[in-house]
Amino acid sequence: MNKIFENSTILVTGGTGSFGHQVVKRLLEEFHPKEIIIFSRDEKKQFDMRNLYKNLNLKFIIGDVRDRNSVFSAMKGVDYVFHAAALKQVPSCEFFPYEAVRTNIIGAENVLDAAEENNVKKVVVLSTDKAVYPINAMGISKAMMEKLMLAKARSSKSKTVFCGVRYGNVMYSRGSVIPYFIDLIKKDQPLTMTHPDMTRYLLPLPVAIELVLFALAHGENGDILVRKSPASTVKDLADAMVEIFNHKAGTKVIGIREGEKMHETLVTQEELMKSESYDLYYRVKNLSTIDYDKYFTEGSASEFTKEGYTSENTQRLSLQETKELVLSLEEIKEVLKIGI
């Protein structure tokens, strides 16, 4: 990684979010690149981030991935790109789907085109389990972002490598359920859950950063890298929070909402046929040679795997294991230290 980042310029789209803060911290502390560019549209968050790090190697550009000109301008001289800018909240995208199209699809195309035009060495796009068998607008828009990345990897005449990562719920990221539970605990209200048996992957943010850095070091054109992750039921996660904070108001079931699944999938049955499995990762290979004449008369696999890699069949955390994972989060340690 030191060799990769030496004298390199890295652009992080949406860089003032949870991912941006964590990856910038890692890059500045461990790898010392020549320059990190934060490209985002919120000047207040950029102001706060600038004051937090006070590092001359950190550069801030106000812009929006929806604006093609601002993306192309920011991409000049960049070596590596982490594309994290997105609308990520399921309800927001569900009620305003065209906004998801503009940011997650058109915005992604602008980033990919600008990287190709400027001969960036590698682009890593950040995707989600909700892009797999998508049933909501956010997942559909992220699935299309993946397809755009794959199309660019197949067709680009530049030397740029285009690859991506997928991960499940990043714990304590902005807008995720654990900070929401903290807010309910502060208000002495019941912790709301949609269905007790619903399962979700649980991934601490530093582990998500490791996945992205792994993709940057090892991702090949068209690859989608997936971190193998444990999961818990929604009930166990809520109960863990109740026990940790001795929350007297308990929990409350509100029912499954529009656009939600009982279980999430990170790798489909179809993708497992073309995946490489490592101890901690799956590499979904997407650039096998396609002969379109043979496509109509010949196949390449005898059968599908029995099922994909899902939050139902991955390692299931017990209530105690879920509690221990939550307690390992630095944000939870900080909340416990200062008190609710």
> What is the DSSP secondary structure assignment for residue 279, as one 8-state letter?
S
Name the CA dihedral angle for 328, 332, 335, 340, rounded to a multiple of 10 degrees: -120
User: Helices 177-186 and 330-338 sit at what angle, rounded to 10 degrees?
Assistant: 10
pLDDT digits (tens, 9 = 90+) for 156-214: 889 999 999 999 889 998 878 999 999 999 999 999 999 999 999 999 999 999 999 99
Q: What is the mean pLDDT of residues 130-138?
A: 96
How many beta carbons lie within 10 A of that of residue 159, not counting itself? 11
pLDDT at 205: 93
Residue 300 vs residues 267, 291, 293, 294, 333: alpha-carbon distances, Å: 19, 11, 14, 10, 50
d(CA 264, CA 299): 28
d(CA 227, CA 207): 8
Where in 93-215 does DSSP place strands (E)? 122-128, 161-167, 169-171, 191-193, 199-204
Sort residue 193 into left (φ over 0), alpha (ψ -120 to 50) or beta: beta
pLDDT digits (tens, 9 = 90+) for 55-114: 999 999 999 999 999 999 999 999 999 999 999 999 999 999 999 999 999 999 999 999
Catalytic residue among 122, 130, 152, 235: 130
Q: Residue 242's closest CA among 152, 333, 330, 319? A: 319
d(CA 293, CA 72): 38
Q: What is the mean pLDDT of residues 123-142?
A: 96
- Location of structure tokens 């539970």: 181
pLDDT at 290: 57
The pLDDT confidence band at residue 299, using thresholds 50, 70 and 90, is low
How much of the chain, in percent, has pLDDT values that exceed 90? 84
Q: Are 284 and 224 in contact (CB under 8 A)?
A: yes
44-76 in b/e burial notation, b at 16+ Cβ within 10 A?
A: ebbeebeeebeeeebebbebbbbebebbbebbe
Note if 130 is an active site residue: yes
Domains defined along the chain, listed by start: 2-170+202-228 (3.40.50.720)
pLDDT at 232: 97
In this predicted structure, the answer to whether residue 338 has a pLDDT above a threshold of 90 is no
Instruction: Give the chain's mean pLDDT.
Output: 93
